[in-house]
Structures are given as C-alpha cells and as structure tokens.
C-alpha cells in the first residue's frame, strides 16, 4: 500500500488519500514533500538529452514538471478514472491548455451557454485573439449541439454542474453527438467534483477543474488541472494533426503514435506548459493534495447543508425562486439523480424579490457568510453575479447563464446549518 498508487478497484476515499504518493524514499516522510525547486540535476549529458527528447520520464524544470505537482496530477486522474493529468496555475489556464493541444487559427468549438461568466468571456473574447471561435449553444436540449455543428468544430465544452445556476448537463447525450462528429467532449467538473459526478463514465473525453474550488477546498490555493481519459482516438480524425503529425520541436516525434493513450497528457506538458508557462506552484499543489484527502467527507456535508438551506429558502417570503437541482420541484432534478446520485452539490442560486437592488442589499447584509468571488470553500460564500462575476456580460447573456439581475449565488460551507440559515434570514429581513 505504501509502495505504489492504489489500484482503481480501491474505494474513492482510499484513492483520495493515497493515489500518486508514497513515503519519501530518502527521509521516510509520509506526507508528500513540497519540492520547492526550479530545476533538477542531470545524471550526465545522455540523461539530459533523453529527458529533453521525451525518451525518458523525469524532471528538468518546474515549468514543465515538478514532483509535488506530479502527485496531484496522478491523484486527480485516479479519482476521475483518467489516464493522465496536467496541472497548471488556475482553472482558466486548464481550459487554455485543453484547447491549445489541438486548436489552430480558424477553428471552432461548441460551448454551452450556461457556464461560469469568466469562461464565457475567455471563450467569447480572449480566445478570438488566437483565431479560435466559440459557438454558444443552449445546452438544455442536447440536439442543439447537433444543429450548431460545423465542419470546423473541434470540440464541445460543457460544465457538468453549471456555475452559477446549478444546471445539470446531460453529458451522455452530448457525448454521443460529439463522437458522431469525431470530436472530443470536454467537461468542466469543478462544481461537482469526481465525488459527485464521473464524466468519463458518461462519455466525456477530457475533464478540467479549477482546483481552487472544492478539490483544494479551503480557499487558500490557486490551480487547475486537465485530465485525459486516454480513450479518444486522436488519429481517427485528420483534424487533430497537432497530435498526430511530426512535431518539429521534438525532431519529428508524433505524439499519438509515440505515447498512445498518454499523448494528450505528454503534449500538455511538453508543448502547453512549455510555451504557455502556466505552471502550478508546488506549494499550491501541496495544499490541494492535502485538501483532496478530505474531499469525500467535505462533499457529504456540503451537500446536506446545501439541501437544507435550499429547502428553507424555497419557502421564504422574500425569495421568489430557488434553483437547486436537489429539490424535487427543480427542472434538473431527474438529471441530478442520474449524474449526481450522491448529491446536487453545494452551489446554487435564488431569486430575491426586489431585483438588482435587493440582491446587492442581501450580499452586503450577511454577517457570517463571506461576500467574495469564490466557491468550494469550507466557509459559506455569497455573491451577486450580475454586479461581479458576470458583470462583463450583457443582460441577455447574464440571464442565459443563470445570472440575471435578481440572482444571488450561494456556496454553502461546512458550518452548522442553523447558523447559515440564521444569517440569511437576518439579511433577507433587512
């Protein structure tokens, strides 16, 4: 058990604690050390050459690989049931790396219109500087992706549990449409985590996370990760020649031919991190590894607290509606039971009577709950998306993303649930 990563047959909790790590061979330290090193000594010139040629696995420079970060990559891959992972500086960096491996100027991809506001901005504005065009699709009807498909489309991107509205995506149906067109389905699993949802089991090909959120879980470390299922055949479709044709920077090496089901992950380090430079700090990897050890316990409490708060708000006279898939009345409840059988997460929205001004008043009126732009913390968090995270969007885009003027988003933490409810009650009464 101490000598190697536990096999996939081990339970989720066991893998969350042991996957990717072993006692330090030199000191016997049981906790993964923080390898706060920029570079690593080569055995000799031949060893250095083999590393730079990708003929040998090892450590060269921490922009590419770092021992602490490698443990995190293996751990999240084990929890998601993936083949490999590429950790990086943030969730946005993970999205960039996911597309960088195969997108070229003039290419397109389909994206759900129900996404985190920052992702809509990144896709709709910043990606255009690379010549990548995002086509936003109403994901409530999977057939909309088939209708929007173009010859230039290279991927479909969705969130398993959309931020901020808690919309549950029909992953299997959308995966089938992606595969009919020979392109991968990328799923952002940040809000659900692998404890609640397993996108690879429903046909996803790549998973991205902002590890800043529930994986780290304590609001103390930034990061992102891309996990590859290892099951997408990059050679089957000529669109993906970046992974199948000779790479000049590595003497004509062909990633998919050489590395097989690890091609995407190797390219993520050897090309993506090398050139984009969005490396994860080893200290952040260490904090995230530590957070993941209690992921299962935390998600259980997050979900039970969230359900109790949502039920309370649903009957509150100052609240016009509650959007939480864990409620039987929610339009996504059936999909939640299918894709999130252990719980519908802890992030949800509600509409406050009085619109924009009332929403601002509530987030300024809470006392214990923190008003800030994050989710997935041990602490309960609140925000008014229209005035913060989604303010760059038009009102129509805000409404489409579930972040209209009256919307308040909650990320329910691990406090005593009675205290969370009491704080919301006094803010709503104010």
pLDDT tens-digit map of 174-200: 999 999 999 999 999 999 999 999 999
Provide the β-strand partners of residue 247. Answer: 253
Domains contained in the chain, CATH given: 12-291 (3.40.640.10), 296-429 (3.90.1150.10)
Q: And the tokens for 82?
A: 């993936």
Distant-in-sequence contacts of 359-363, Cβ < 8 A, 24+ apart: 359/384, 359/386, 359/387, 359/405, 359/406, 359/407, 359/408, 360/384, 360/387, 361/427, 361/430, 362/408, 362/427, 362/428, 362/430, 363/408
Task: Return the percentage of the chain with pLDDT > 70, whole number.
Answer: 99
CA distances from 101 to 238, 240, 368 (A): 14, 9, 43
DSSP labels, 69-123: HHHHHHHHHHHHT-SEEEEESSHHHHHHHHHHTT--TT-EEEEESSS-HHHHHHH
Cβ atoms within 10 Å of 112's Cβ, excluding its own: 26
Cβ atoms within 10 Å of 59's Cβ, excluding its own: 17
Q: Where are the alpha helices (DSSP H) in 248-332?
A: 255-259, 263-267, 274-276, 282-292, 295-314
pLDDT tens-digit map of 196-251: 999 999 999 999 999 999 999 999 999 999 999 999 999 999 999 999 999 999 99
The total number of residues written for the chain in this structure: 430
3-class secondary structure, 242: helix
34 phi, psi to nearest 5 deg:
-90, 105
Q: Is the pLDDT of residue 255 over 90?
A: yes
pLDDT tens-digit map of 150-181: 999 999 999 999 987 789 999 999 999 999 99
pLDDT confidence tier of residue 424, bands split at 50, 70 and 90: very high
Instruction: Give which of 206, 295, 368 is closest to 16, Cα–Cα.
Output: 295
Residue labelled with tokens 């500086």:
89
């Amino acid at each position: 058990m101490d000598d190697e990563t536990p096999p996939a047959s081990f339970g989720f909790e066991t893998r969350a604690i042991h996957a990717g790590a072993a006692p330090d061979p030199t000191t016997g330290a049981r906790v993964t050390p923080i390898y706060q090193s920029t570079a690593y000594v080569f055995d000799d010139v031949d060893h250095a050459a083999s590393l730079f040629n990708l003929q040998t696995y090892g450590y060269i420079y921490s922009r590419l690989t770092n021992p602490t970060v490698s443990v995190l990559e293996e751990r999240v891959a084990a929890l998601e049931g993936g083949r490999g992972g590429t950790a990086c500086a943030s969730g946005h960096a993970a999205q960039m790396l996911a597309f960088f491996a195969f997108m070229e100027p003039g290419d397109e991809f389909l994206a759900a219109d129900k996404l985190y506001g920052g992702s809509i901005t990144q896709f709709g504005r910043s990606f255009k500087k690379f010549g990548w065009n995002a086509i936003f699709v109403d994901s409530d009807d999977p057939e909309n992706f088939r209708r929007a498909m173009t010859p230039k489309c290279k991927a479909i991107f969705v969130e398993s549990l959309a931020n901020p509205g808690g919309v549950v995506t029909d992953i299997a149906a959308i995966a089938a449409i992606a595969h009919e067109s020979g392109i991968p389905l990328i799923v952002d699993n940040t809000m659900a985590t692998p404890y609640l949802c397993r996108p690879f089991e429903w046909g996803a090909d790549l998973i991205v996370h902002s590890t800043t959120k529930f994986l780290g879980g304590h609001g103390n470390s930034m990061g992102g990760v891309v996990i590859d299922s290892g099951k997408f055949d990059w050679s089957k479709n000529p669109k993906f020649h970046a992974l199948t044709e000779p790479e000049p920077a590595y003497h004509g090496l062909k990633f998919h031919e050489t590395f097989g089901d690890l091609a995407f992950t190797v390219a993520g380090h050897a090309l993506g991190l090398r050139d984009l430079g969005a490396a994860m700090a080893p200290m952040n990897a260490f904090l995230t590894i530590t957070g993941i050890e209690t992921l299962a316990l935390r998600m259980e409490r997050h979900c039970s607290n969230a359900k109790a708060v949502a039920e309370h708000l649903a009957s509150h006279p100052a609240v016009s509606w509650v959007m939480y898939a864990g409620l039987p009345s929610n339009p996504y409840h059936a999909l939640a039971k299918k894709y999130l059988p252990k719980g519908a997460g802890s992030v949800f929205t509600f509409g406050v009577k009085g619109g924009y001004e009332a929403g601002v008043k509530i987030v300024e009126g809470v006392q214990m709950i923190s008003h800030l732009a994050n989710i997935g913390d041990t602490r309960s968090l609140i925000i008014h998306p229209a005035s913060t995270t989604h303010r760059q969007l038009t009102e129509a885009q805000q409404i489409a993303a579930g972040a209209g003027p009256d919307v308040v988003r909650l990320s329910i933490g691990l406090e005593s649930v009675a205290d969370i409810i009491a704080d919301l009650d006094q803010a709503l009464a104010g």
